[in-house]
Chains A and B, each alone.
Chain A
Amino acid sequence: MSENPNLDRRQFIVSSLAAIGGALVVGTRPDFAGAASADATVWDKAAGAGSAEFTPWILIAPDDTVTVRVTTPDIGNGTLTQAAAFVMEELGTSWDRIKVEQASPNRDFKEDGVYSKVGGFLGYFSGRSTGPARMATYLQVAASARERLKAAAGHKWGVPPSEIEASNSILTHVPTGRKVRFGEMVAKAAAITLDREPKPKDQADWTFLTMKAPAKLQIPEIVNGSAVYGMDVRLPNMVYAALRQSPVHGGKLKSCDFNAIKNMPGIHAAVVVEPGKPRPSDLKPPFPFGVTTAQSAVAVIADHYWQARTALDAMPVEWDDGPGSHWKTTEQMNAAAFAALDKEGEKIEKSTGDVEAALKNAGKVVERRYLTPYCEQAPLEPLNGTALVTKDRVEVWHPSQHSQMGFLVAADETGVSPENVFFHQTYVGGGFGRRAFSDDIRMVVAVAKQFPDRPVHVIWSREEATRQGRYRPLMAAKFKAVLGEDGLPTAFHARVSGGPGFFVLGLPDTALASGVVPNVRIESQVVPFHIMTGPYRGPGYNSNTFFVETFIDECAIAARIDPLEYRLRLYGKWGDIGWTKCLKEVAAKAGWGQRLPRGQGRGIAIGNWGGDGKPEAGTTCATVAKVEVSKSGQLKILQIDVAFDTGRVLNRDAVATQLEGGTLFGLNMSLNEELNIKDGRIVEGNYDQYPMIRMADVPRSLHVHFGGLSNNARFTEIGEPPVGPIGPAIGNAIFQATGKRVRTTPLRKHDLSWT
């Protein structure tokens, strides 16, 4: 990234295009008299007459409205709002003047990666709103725009810009009190060249970032139903498609009888999608195109979705299941994953010290096996998307988690030049990784291109979305530790196995394997399962933290040391004060050590996401769960406390929402989630079979604590970290309550009864 991103080209263009609409939405949040706003429907809308584009990231209109372009789709984590907050810090505007909109991948392509070169492959990826490169870019372009506005006003009044202040979108000449609005100066400011770009403020001088906590800008649209998600796209002449793919992943359509349904009301066509061979491509997608491969599918197209759905259900369809059907049951697959742990792994993920020697001289050895099942991200908005394909042009409207990837997939699937592909990012009804690979976009375009010249809105039923996932992989682990005289591990030997695409992330990069234990060996083994996998909130980490932190608890019990005390001693060796701060904070707030009645217990666990095996990096999260288990084995979560260390925090409330939500996501993952396999097919289809926690299942005491923050100079991610420790914290609490140790999830399947 250059020091002054995107200031070197195409800067400060005055737009003379069609007029812009746009009303500001007034919020009621007490901190903010007015609120900034979001508009996910401004699809490649032309800029207002006389507006000045202060780099492709910021545009200021004559009425003072500041439009901030955001690459990252907002999946509910506040990426749009955080971008606005960065600009707010430096520009000298007011919050109610700021609007945000999604940046165009088409423009990015035509203008040599004008957006995506900031942040690399994560440039357009959702979730990374606070990456250092992104933050630096917004702060810089806002500061540069402000200085140009000041220079323009200085020129108008014949005074030095240093005598001018920018505040609330007004430029004031301090000595004389003369004032002019930003909007009156934008045309002149756009023509100004500065000798050098200004340096953004020191963090110590911030007045908005870290200090204010604005709510998400799109909430006013959400609460009146006007927010447009992918599912809500409505276009002239649009038709709907209902979709069915091979129930066994990798199978093929054998036959379908369109004649049986063609006279049903509203029906236009049935189209068949067959997975194509990857074609040679010079498009350089951020993920390999292989992960986007379409499955064998049939779609019925009709005037309305319900007509399409009803006809699809009535259409005779036969499948050739293919080799995946050899996996008859979940138990067979679990056994295969466990069996893979009995031989040396095909890949050595990490090796330090001498594990063999340590094992030979072993005193006390703890050896355990663990397993976590396939899980579906299950975002509440089922997969869907809309595409209009014509001979030489493609338009897509989609709730993506990676709009640049989606844009390139649309070009690849149609063979249309990317210059003529237009990707319109909508709001996203949940992502959790499911919408990152763009396989859904490939399917939408593959259907729509067979029904050209009309927009086709392709909708997965909930059952279809559940059974055609890119799941959290099935993973099994065998851990062995040698405990020294002080009870702490002197050696750690791990084997993990899983289907193709499984993630070891969250194991070799743990503190445990990165310096806390002197002798470490980690091996991995792929088992040839046919089930498709992909990223699921906290990939790898979400399974591995369950394994590691359950195992640490078992080591603590074997060493007869309190689980909190054991972790303080163990992780006290890790050169990162945040770990012990988080443990102490969460334990104190949870009342650790206070006596509980029989059948109740507390458990603790800690993890780090994104630290890549280095101290003072990534986000550390520690969780204490208090549970009650009835004699008959009914489990109730009574209390959850969470402490974390992101270094510092830009928006306290935004961070709290992610910690609350991520903890409940991990709670459901651990308690409830499991996909089963029968004759190669996914059994579960809808929420009646794949249960979700609801209001009554959420402990009324769920608290996020800020006392674990180290104040280390970093702002790290918060969406994934809480997903890891909640499961093992509950499992460890169950052990305290009942003496029963759970080593697999979902926890609901265990008999927890006690006497």
Chain B
Amino acid sequence: MAVSLTINNEVVTVDADPSTPLLWVLRDHLGMTGTKFGCGIAQCGACTVHVDGRAMRSCQFPLVSAVGTHIRTIEGLSPDSSHPLQRLWIEMNVPQCGYCQSGMLMAAAALLRQIPKPTDDDIDQYVTNICRCGTYARIRAAIHKAAEAMPG
């Protein structure tokens, strides 16, 4: 079944079963591989995208539910890696293997949209993704620094 989706401000057409998780639509049908598969049960958050501005784990979000929403993926977080979080991720050497970091960035960006100056408790509550390499302390520090840098 062909449906239209709005992803990173572009309208695209996808022919896939409506129950297909958005994750696999992005990755396999549209070739947008920045959004990662980690667990498939909305535990790890590697597949986090924004749906109408809110963080959403796309592995449990079917295509049919995505129709009519605005989806943003890591590829569209900024046009040129200029989002303060992206810049700080580089500057503060945050990622190790990097596989979870698309999801971490999307979770952190959604947090800053909702709470421009988050506390440590806010970060604990909103950024619940898994990083097996253990980059949590740097992620926390980078979110705080980004909050300072962003107009809030």
Q: A357-381: which have CB < 8 Å to B?
A: 378-381
Q: Which residue of B lies closest to A696 (CB)?
A: B124
> Quick check: A702 and B137 within 8 Å, CB to CB?
yes
> Quick check: B39 and A462 within 8 Å, CB to CB?
yes
User: Residue-by-residue, is A680-709 near B (CB-CB < 8 Å gives 1, otherwise 0)?
Assistant: 000000111000111110101010000000
- 28 interchain pairs, CB-CB under 8 A: A27-B91, A75-B97, A76-B98, A216-B96, A222-B89, A223-B86, A223-B95, A228-B33, A229-B36, A304-B16, A306-B28, A378-B132, A380-B44, A380-B132, A382-B38, A429-B98, A432-B132, A657-B96, A657-B135, A661-B134, A687-B41, A688-B43, A694-B136, A695-B127, A695-B129, A696-B125, A698-B137, A702-B137
Known: A225-B34, A686-B39. A215 touches B133 (CB 8 A): no
> Quick check: B95 and A222 within 8 Å, CB to CB?
yes
Stretch from A61-69, A291-299, A662-670 contacting the other chain: A662-670
Q: Which of B125, B130, B140 contacts A687 (CB 8 A)?
A: B130
User: Residue-by-residue, is B112-132 near A (CB-CB < 8 Å gives 1, otherwise 0)?
Assistant: 000000001001110111111
Known: A432-B132, A665-B132. A687 touches B44 (CB 8 A): yes
Known: A29-B90, A223-B86, A430-B133. A381 touches B28 (CB 8 A): no
Q: Which residue of A lies closest to B143 (CB)?
A: A695
> Quick check: B99 and A430 within 8 Å, CB to CB?
yes
Counting chain A CB atoms within 10 Å of each CB, the highest count among B34, B39, B87, B134 belongs to B134
Which B residues are in CB contact (< 8 Å) with A306?
A: 16-17, 20-21, 24, 28
B interface size (C-beta, 8 A): 64
Answer yes or no: A138 CB below 8 A from chain B CBs. Answer: no
User: Residue-by-residue, is B72-90 near A (CB-CB < 8 Å gives 1, otherwise 0)?
Assistant: 0111011001000111011
Q: Which residue of B lies closest to A35 (CB)?
A: B90
- Cα A285 to Cα B89 with chains together (Å): 38
> Quick check: A229 and B38 within 8 Å, CB to CB?
no
Q: Which of A223, A461, A692, A695 contacts B40 (CB 8 A)?
A: A461
Q: A403-446: which have CB < 8 Å to B?
A: 427-432
- Cα A654 to Cα B138 with chains together (Å): 13
> Quick check: B43 and A686 within 8 Å, CB to CB?
yes
Interface size class of A (residues with CB under 8 A): 35 or more
Answer yes or no: A580 CB below 8 A from chain B CBs. Answer: no
Mostly, the B contact residues are: loop
Which A residues are in CB contact (< 8 Å) with B129?
A: 694-695
Answer yes or no: A305 CB below 8 A from chain B CBs. Answer: yes
Which A residues are in CB contact (< 8 Å) with B96?
A: 76-77, 216, 657, 661
Known: A265-B17, A382-B38, A686-B41. A225 touches B75 (CB 8 A): yes
Q: B56-77: which have CB < 8 Å to A?
A: 73-75, 77
Q: Which of A432, A660, A688 contacts B138 (CB 8 A)?
A: A660
> Quick check: A427 and B98 within 8 Å, CB to CB?
yes
- Cα A698 to Cα B28 with chains together (Å): 35
- Cα A379 to Cα B132 with chains together (Å): 6
B72, chain A: closest CB distance, angstroms? 12
Q: B27-53: which have CB < 8 Å to A?
A: 27-29, 31-41, 43-44, 46
Q: A635-692: which have CB < 8 Å to B?
A: 653-654, 657, 660-665, 686-688, 692
Q: A117-168: which have CB < 8 Å to B?
A: none
> Quick check: A223 and B130 within 8 Å, CB to CB?
no
Answer yes or no: B5 CB below 8 A from chain A CBs. Answer: no
- Cα A382 to Cα B44 with chains together (Å): 12
> Quick check: A28 and B87 within 8 Å, CB to CB?
yes
> Quick check: A225 and B134 within 8 Å, CB to CB?
no
> Quick check: A692 and B81 within 8 Å, CB to CB?
no
Answer yes or no: B100 CB below 8 A from chain A CBs. Answer: yes
Counting chain A CB atoms within 10 Å of each CB, the highest count among B16, B32, B90 belongs to B90
Which A residues are in CB contact (< 8 Å) with B41?
A: 462, 686-688
Which A residues are in CB contact (< 8 Å) with B81?
A: 220, 223-224
Answer yes or no: B139 CB below 8 A from chain A CBs. Answer: yes
Which A residues are in CB contact (< 8 Å) with B97?
A: 75-76, 379-381, 427-431
Which A residues are in CB contact (< 8 Å) with B78?
A: 224
Q: Which of A226, A653, A663, A694 contacts B130 (CB 8 A)?
A: A694
Which A residues are in CB contact (< 8 Å) with B86?
A: 223-224
Which B residues are in CB contact (< 8 Å) with A476?
A: none
- Cα A56 to Cα B42 with chains together (Å): 45
Answer yes or no: B93 CB below 8 A from chain A CBs. Answer: yes
> Quick check: B139 and A695 within 8 Å, CB to CB?
yes
Known: A224-B34, A380-B131, A462-B39. A216 touches B95 (CB 8 A): yes
Q: Which residue of B lies closest to A25 (CB)?
A: B81
> Quick check: B99 and A225 within 8 Å, CB to CB?
no
Q: Which residue of A lies closest to B17 (CB)?
A: A265
Which A residues are in CB contact (< 8 Å) with B138?
A: 657, 660
Q: Known A-B contacts: A223-B85, A694-B136. Give 8 more (CB < 8 A).
A: A29-B91, A215-B90, A224-B74, A225-B75, A226-B34, A227-B98, A696-B124, A698-B136
Answer yes or no: B105 CB below 8 A from chain A CBs. Answer: yes
Which A residues are in CB contact (< 8 Å) with B21?
A: 306
> Quick check: A222 and B101 within 8 Å, CB to CB?
yes
Q: Which of B74, B130, B140 contacts A225 (CB 8 A)?
A: B74
B109, chain A: closest CB distance, angstroms? 11
Which B residues are in CB contact (< 8 Å) with A226?
A: 34, 75
Answer yes or no: A96 CB below 8 A from chain B CBs. Answer: no
> Quick check: A222 and B98 within 8 Å, CB to CB?
yes
Q: Which residue of B lies closest to A699 (CB)?
A: B137
- Cα A458 to Cα B23 with chains together (Å): 17
Which B residues are in CB contact (< 8 Å) with A276?
A: none
Counting chain A CB atoms within 10 Å of each CB, the highest count among B85, B98, B123 belongs to B98
B132, chain A: closest CB distance, angstroms? 5
Q: Which residue of A lies closest to B37 (CB)?
A: A231
- Cα A12 to Cα B132 with chains together (Å): 42
Answer yes or no: A551 CB below 8 A from chain B CBs. Answer: no
Answer yes or no: A240 CB below 8 A from chain B CBs. Answer: yes
Which B residues are in CB contact (< 8 Å) with A274?
A: none
Which A residues are in CB contact (< 8 Å) with B131?
A: 380
Answer yes or no: A326 CB below 8 A from chain B CBs. Answer: no
- Cα A459 to Cα B59 with chains together (Å): 15
Which B residues are in CB contact (< 8 Å) with A382?
A: 37-38
Answer yes or no: A232 CB below 8 A from chain B CBs. Answer: yes
B9, chain A: closest CB distance, angstroms? 16
Q: Which residue of A lies closest to B46 (CB)?
A: A380
Q: Which residue of A lies closest to B105 (CB)?
A: A223
Which B residues are in CB contact (< 8 Å) with A660?
A: 134-135, 137-138
> Quick check: B99 and A28 within 8 Å, CB to CB?
no
> Quick check: A695 and B31 within 8 Å, CB to CB?
no
> Quick check: B90 and A223 within 8 Å, CB to CB?
yes
A652, chain B: closest CB distance, angstroms? 11
Q: Which residue of A lies closest to B99 (CB)?
A: A429
Answer yes or no: A325 CB below 8 A from chain B CBs. Answer: no
Which B residues are in CB contact (< 8 Å) with A631?
A: none
- Cα A402 to Cα B94 with chains together (Å): 25
Which B residues are in CB contact (< 8 Å) with A430?
A: 97, 99, 132-133
> Quick check: B24 and A225 within 8 Å, CB to CB?
no
Q: Which residue of B lies closest to A228 (CB)?
A: B33
- Cα A695 to Cα B122 with chains together (Å): 11
> Quick check: A665 and B134 within 8 Å, CB to CB?
yes
